[in-house]
Structure 1
Amino acid sequence: MIQQHTEYDVLVVGGSGVDTIVRVDALPVPLADSVHVGPIEEWPGHTGGNVALGTRALGLKVALLDCIGDDWTGAQVRERMAEGDVEFAPLISSAGTRRAVNLVDATGRRMSFYDARDPAGLRMPRDFYLPRLRRTRHVHLSIMNFARFLYDDIEDLGVPVSTDLHDWDGLADHHREFALRSDLVFLSAAGAGQDATALMREILREGRADTVVVTAGADGSYVLTRNGGSVPHHIPATVPPAPVVDSNGAGDAFVCGFLYGRLAGRDALECARLGAVAGAHACTAPGSTALIAQEALLASDQVRSRSQ
């Protein structure tokens, strides 16, 4: 039986679903009528589910709130959260459970085809989320449209909030409210590109964030804080402890390591180093299944600190 917590370290809102993993020789895939691939696998997770599972594996008290379907994919999500000891409170959406098809090449790189499904009018009732919102140390909002409507209550309660904008290019309106109303903002260099530093500065200047982090895969991450100067600090990537199998979930694992450090009172650069360790570990197994434990995270971080 999953433990029902009276207090939470992290409350994750939105972002669960199921990935269908298709392994290909290389990306992009050549145009053809038929391409022979290896076994096609289904992995429940997605960004919100992965953050909930990853922070729980690190020993934090976690709950996940989301809208999923009464369908076989939703059943997979429920089962995966139960296996990971995540307290999961789902609302049923007639639109069904979110899905993605991810092409993964021989080096572990991926290309994702995401089916969000949520109707524009989907909302999470206040009496559903407020009881847990009042009892958490930190909220992590996935960029589901319904999640943006929690910001007023989060601010009224004074609860710190983080979000992951993924491949936001700084232009799409959907992401902007999340970027400007969160205390801690993650985004990927895949979307921001050469404009990443300017976008980090804009988020700090225009929004409430104290820290912005850009993840860049094998190139590491970049951290910019409100009081840390105008030049982002570069944190090198960690070498994975085993061969790279799949990069699915690596960014979510980075978020988990970072949040663990932040809730432990570490500074932003130390948090990013923990994120790098967790992200590297996530690449060593298929479908975001490599969840690093607290002991392994801290032991790896100590080894890195002694070698620097």
Structure 2
Amino acid sequence: MQRHRDIDVLVLGGAGVDTIVYVPGLPLPYTDSYMIEPGIRTRAGQTGDFVALGLTALGLRTHHLDMIGDDPEGDLVRALHRDRGIALTAVPQPAGTKRAVNLVGPDGRRLSLYDASRSHVEDRFPEATLRALAEAGRHAHVAITHPCTPALPVLREAGVPLSTDLHDWDGENPYHEPFAYTADIVFLSTARLTDPERTMRRIAERGRAEVVVATAGAQGAYLLAGGELTRIPTAAPPAPVVDSNGAGDAFAAAFLFGRLSGEPAWRCALYGAVAGAYACTVPSTQTDALDRDTLLARAAELESATR
């Protein structure tokens, strides 16, 4: 019997709050104190939140599942989803809502300090809740935060296609391997890779990934699909680059939009490049994402220019 899929993308994990601190440079030289302009701000939005925001802005029916605390940070996360029309299932997290401090330099580079006390390896999603949401979804995007590792077998049993973002994986840390070798679509950054192609091919050979995408910032991205490695060009940002925070999440959301629309992998990657470039023009203190019409128009321009 065919199941009714009323969720386009189920996003697992990655809900939390960031405190943004603009610094005069990275690495930050030691001194007794700094005067921070334009100030310090705390706002909801970590990797899962930004993927869910990007998907929703593109018109996809999105549902976010994570463990969230009964605390001020959790209130910010719930308000973000409520204000942006993103369905949220918040499982109580006694340790509190995930949070981080992001130091952002003048060139938009970011250094994140994650509070590891807000989640524990024994954390679990209620299996019945997870399974019901997975069976209602066309796709699931899984963050590498707790408690997503033990959720992977349940998602596989539910028969939903999976994607994940390994972020700045070095290709060696075993924590990332269950995600890398279970997902059908794998995103990662080249930031800590000495040989991106080798890592990408190892992911495809050892796991079940049909597509592997490695983003390389201003150098574009690498796309491995059907055994063929392709370079994806950068997209021109529509405004000055102010912050790289959320660029990878925007790339993943736009790529998945293309995937669920039936587009070939290379066009999905062009969508990702356009959305990622736009995200770099949005200050860390804000949350914003491209709408569908703007994405399609800018991607068409990029495709025409690269022919």
TM-score (normalised: structure 1): 0.94
Q: 1:278 aligns with which of 251, 275, 281?
A: 275
SS in 2 for 1:9: strand
Cα separation, 1, equivalents of 2:43 and 2:290: 17
- Runs (4+) of structure 1 exceeding 3 A deviation are none
Counterpart for residue 148 of structure 2: 147
* Runs of 5+ consecutive residues of structure 1 not aligned to the other structure: none
Counterpart for residue 268 of structure 1: 265
Q: 1:145-200: CA deviations, max 9, x gaps?
A: 321222222222221000000011111111001000000001111122x2221111
SS in 2 for 1:22: strand
How many Å apart are 1:70 and its aligned residue?
0.5
Q: What are the within-5 Å matches in structure 2 for residues 123-272 of structure 1?
A: 123-192=124-193, 194-225=194-225, 227-229=226-228, 232-272=229-269
Counterpart for residue 65 of structure 1: 65
Counterpart for residue 303 of structure 1: 301
Cα separation, 2, equivalents of 1:286 and 1:158: 38
Code of the aligned partner of 1:286? P
Counterpart for residue 24 of structure 1: 23
SS in 2 for 1:21: strand
CA contact (8 A) 2:203 2:209 kept: yes
How many Å apart are 1:113 and its aligned residue?
0.8
Counterpart for residue 75 of structure 1: 75
Counterpart for residue 105 of structure 1: 105
SS in 1 for 2:256: helix
CA contact (8 A) 2:131 2:155 kept: no
Cα separation, 1, equivalents of 2:69 and 2:92: 5
SS in 2 for 1:190: coil
Cα separation, 1, equivalents of 2:76 and 2:121: 24
Cα separation, 1, equivalents of 2:241 and 2:41: 17
Code of the aligned partner of 1:305? E
Cα separation, 2, equivalents of 1:153 and 1:41: 37
Code of the aligned partner of 1:102? N
Cα separation, 2, equivalents of 1:203 and 1:228: 12
Cα separation, 1, equivalents of 2:218 and 2:58: 23
Cα separation, 1, equivalents of 2:267 and 2:297: 14
SS in 1 for 2:33: coil
CA contact (8 A) 1:282 1:289 kept: no
How many Å apart are 1:106 and its aligned residue?
1.1
Cα separation, 1, equivalents of 2:203 and 2:240: 36
Code of the aligned partner of 1:73? E
How many Å apart are 1:290 and its aligned residue?
2.6
SS in 1 for 2:47: helix
Cα separation, 2, equivalents of 1:6 and 1:172: 35
Cα separation, 2, equivalents of 1:307 and 1:208: 33
Cα separation, 1, equivalents of 2:249 and 2:50: 6
Higher deviation after alignment, 110-119 or 65-74: 110-119
Counterpart for residue 42 of structure 1: 42
SS in 2 for 1:181: coil
Q: Report % sequence identity.
A: 47
TM-score (normalised: structure 2): 0.95
How many Å apart are 1:6 and its aligned residue?
7.0
Cα separation, 2, equivalents of 1:114 and 1:152: 26
Code of the aligned partner of 2:31? A
SS in 2 for 1:286: coil
Q: How many residues in Structure 1 have an aligned counterpart in Structure 2?
A: 300
Q: 1:105-154: CA deviations, max 9, x gaps?
A: 11111111112421111111111211111110000011123212222222
How many Å apart are 1:43 and its aligned residue?
2.1
SS in 2 for 1:128: helix
Cα separation, 2, equivalents of 1:92 and 1:239: 42
Cα separation, 1, equivalents of 2:198 and 2:192: 13
